């Protein structure tokens, strides 16, 4: 499988332009749009409550909830289709994932702001496998300390982006809004949640 290693300091990011072909990607976009248990969460920014600018869903092995930005997501059980996609992501990356966060960007107004995926339960060096389906969106990266260091990559339908090593320590990423008309897009970020970290921090707070 063709892959491109991004030449970025303090990062380990590999891009696979075509994990899935166009026809397969189109079919999956339609199927997942209709069958996933999408939810609209609300977020509070500067004391104001507003709908998160995308729909989300969380699927995982039993008992793995996920908390980020103050939202805790209870898992839905794996579906046949998600398990197939998980197997494909695992085959190229050599990583065994136990969960996936899905994001549905309905149009160019949907987005995800600057962040690192660095919650404690993602472990010391989080491994994240990101599969994109549908409309191409721009994925922007910026170094947290070296402000001039930036990179961007167009996440096309069927592509897979693997982030690992120290990437989340040193870099943030975002999907900005766009005024260009863009078709709907689904992104699946397969993750490895470390349950022992969860257990320890829960015990600590008791
Ligand atoms: O939609 C994307 O490509 C990025 C999603 C993302 O960064 C995340 O779910 O943490
Ligand atoms: Fe992310």
Domains and CATH numbers, the chain: 4-135+156-167 (2.60.120.590)
Q: Tokens for 195, please give them.
A: 């349950």
| Angle, helices 22-35/80-93, rounded to nearest 10 degrees | 140
User: Is the CB of 185 within 6 Å of ligand 1?
Assistant: no
Low-confidence residues of the chain, pLDDT below 50? 206
Nearest CA to ligand 1 atom 1: 187
Residues lining ion ligand 2 (Cβ < 5 A) are 117
CA–CA gap between residue 60 and residue 40 (Å, rounded): 19
Ligand 1 centroid to residue 117 C-alpha, Å: 9
pLDDT at 44: 86
pLDDT at 202: 59
Distance, C-alpha 67 to centroid of its chain: 14
Q: Tokens for 60, please give them.
A: 């995982």
With tokens 């320590």, the residue in question is 169
Residues 6+ apart with CB under 8 A from 111: 53, 54, 105, 174, 175, 176, 177
Contact (Cβ atoms closer than 8 angstroms) between residue 167 and residue 174 = no
0.90 surpassed by pTM: yes
pLDDT at 66: 86
Ligand 1 centroid to residue 80 C-alpha, Å: 22
Nearest CA to ligand 1 atom 10: 117
User: Is the CB of 110 within 6 Å of ligand 1?
Assistant: no
pLDDT at 38: 98
| Global ipTM | 0.99
CA–CA gap between residue 74 and residue 31 (Å, rounded): 22
**End-to-end C-alpha distance for the chain, whole angstroms:** 48
């Amino acid at each position: 499988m063709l892959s491109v290693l991004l030449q970025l300091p303090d990062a380990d990011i590999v891009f696979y332009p075509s994990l899935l072909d166009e026809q397969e990607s189109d079919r999956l976009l339609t199927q997942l749009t209709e069958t996933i248990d999408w939810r609209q969460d609300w977020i509070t920014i500067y004391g104001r409550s507003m709908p998160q600018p995308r729909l989300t869903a969380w699927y995982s092995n039993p008992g793995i909830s996920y908390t980020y930005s103050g939202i805790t997501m209870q898992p839905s059980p794996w579906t046949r289709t998600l398990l197939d996609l998980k197997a494909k992501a695992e085959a190229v990356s050599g990583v065994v994932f136990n969960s996936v966060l899905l994001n549905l960007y309905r149009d160019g107004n949907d987005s995800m702001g600057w962040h690192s995926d660095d919650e404690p339960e993602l472990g010391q060096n989080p491994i994240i496998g990101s599969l994109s389906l549908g409309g191409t969106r721009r994925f922007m990266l910026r170094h947290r300390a070296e402000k001039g260091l930036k990179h961007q990559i167009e996440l096309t339908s069927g592509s897979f982006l693997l982030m690992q090593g120290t990437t989340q320590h040193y870099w943030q990423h975002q999907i900005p809004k766009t005024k260009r008309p863009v078709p709907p897009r689904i992104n699946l970020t397969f993750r490895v949640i470390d349950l022992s970290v969860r257990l320890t921090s829960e015990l600590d707070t008791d």
